[in-house]
Amino acid sequence: MSGHRSRILNGLAAALLVPALLGGCQPPPSAAAVRSVPVVGGLEHPWAVAWLPGGDLLITERPGRLRLVQGGVLQPEPIRGVPEVLAAGQGGLLDVAVHPDFATNRWIYLTYAAGSAAANHTRLARARFDGHALTDLQVLFAVPQRKAGSQHFGSRLLWLPDGTLLLAIGDGGNPPLQLEGALIRHQAQNPGSALGKVLRLNDDGSPARGTPFAGTPGALPGLWSLGHRNIQGLAIDRQGGRVWASEHGARDGDELNRIEAGVNYGWPTVTHSREYFGPAIAPATSAPGLRDPALVWTPAIAPSGLTLYDGDRYPGWRGDLFAGGLVSQQVHRLRPNPKGSVTPEQQIPIGARVRDVRQGPDGYLYVLTDGAGDGQLLRLEPS
């Protein structure tokens, strides 16, 4: 580290230490503590970013392209072999995750919307990546319920330390969309439906052992938690094992939840959200047996992308959560406490719709911005 940068970081560390010594009576550091540095641009509705061993990057574009950033340069040709997607509304090519043992097995994982405008669902697939193309494509899981419309597919992926994979799936859409004679969002409370759920799977897509609903008649194999509207961010505290999710509410009522096995998070039975046309969705915001959110955003930020920082590039930020906001056009820094609640600390202006937030292997935070041909990957650096 250069002497100049060392002085900068030491100064930041001292500035961040003062509030702790004074019992938190000083304001948190301002967003001016970091600056956004463009890494690549010219992306069309990018949705997710993941790192390969060695530092190269994979970026999904919602219209159905998987892009490679090699040596810091966006390669002009998309990666071949991507499955056909339903690129409509919120649907398309969504999340990407790299197998923990990619160096030996070459597997990458994709989620995407598939089907037609009248009958579609979320799929999880994996394929081997040889550096140029995908081969041996396998569909590992497909939501059994087919729906109409182009809303609420989810979906985020998260590897757990034991090598199993969490898959978050949206509730299917807003009124007046129906399924099985009721508003489709009520599928989130149906343990036999994949809609509005988090599943825990093995790396081959089979249900993981020890799932909490294994003994529940009719429950979907692999069901991990239920009562979700549309999760757009998943992150893990690898020291403590805590899993966090950010999810969209309807009109206001966006949530940050700590995800635990067997828990019902209430949607749409209880919620802080209101219908887009005004009235309350549920008669209450809390009820026995249903987990309250750790944080509610009102007004809505439209959360998308979430990471828990465990690096050392930003003194004082270790252990904090960073949530992207599509509507807020900010990165929201949040501090979890041991009791499970979360305190908002600051907002980092980005000036564009934030689609994903990830920590890179170099310890920096990276931000993916949405855009029709002007989406960017940014790196946040101490200013």
Question: How many Å apart are CA 215 and CA 226, to the nearest integer?
Answer: 16
Q: Answer whether residue 21 is part of any domain.
A: no
Could you tell me if 260 and 323 are in contact, meaning their C-beta atoms sit under 8 angstroms apart? no
Catalytic residue from among 121, 152, 248, 332 = 152
3-state secondary structure of 3: helix
Which residues sit opposite 324 in a β-bridge? 331
Count up the domains in the chain and report the number.
1
Q: Is 132 a catalytic residue?
A: no
Q: Answer whether residue 16 is part of any domain.
A: no
Q: Answer whether residue 188 is part of any domain.
A: yes
Q: Answer whether residue 19 is part of any domain.
A: no
Question: How many Å apart are CA 262 and CA 259, to the nearest integer?
Answer: 9
Could you tell me if 315 and 33 are in contact, meaning their C-beta atoms sit under 8 angstroms apart? no
In the chain, the largest separation of any two C-alpha atoms, in whole Å, equals 67
Could you tell me if 248 and 262 are in contact, meaning their C-beta atoms sit under 8 angstroms apart? no
* Residue 184: domain span: 34-382
Which residues sit opposite 141 in a β-bridge? 124
CATH number reported for the structural domain that contains residue 329 in this entry: 2.120.10.30
Cα torsion for 342, 343, 347, 353, to the nearest 10°? 20
- pLDDT tens, position by position, for the chain (383 residues)? 444 333 333 333 333 332 322 233 333 445 568 999 999 999 999 999 999 999 999 999 999 999 999 999 999 999 999 999 999 999 999 999 999 999 999 999 999 999 999 999 999 999 999 999 999 999 999 999 999 999 999 999 999 999 999 999 999 999 999 999 999 999 999 999 999 999 999 999 999 999 999 989 999 999 999 999 999 999 999 888 999 999 999 999 999 999 999 999 999 999 999 999 999 999 999 999 999 999 999 999 999 999 999 999 998 999 999 999 999 999 999 999 887 789 999 999 999 999 999 999 999 999 999 999 999 999 999 98
| Tokens read off for 169 | 């799936």
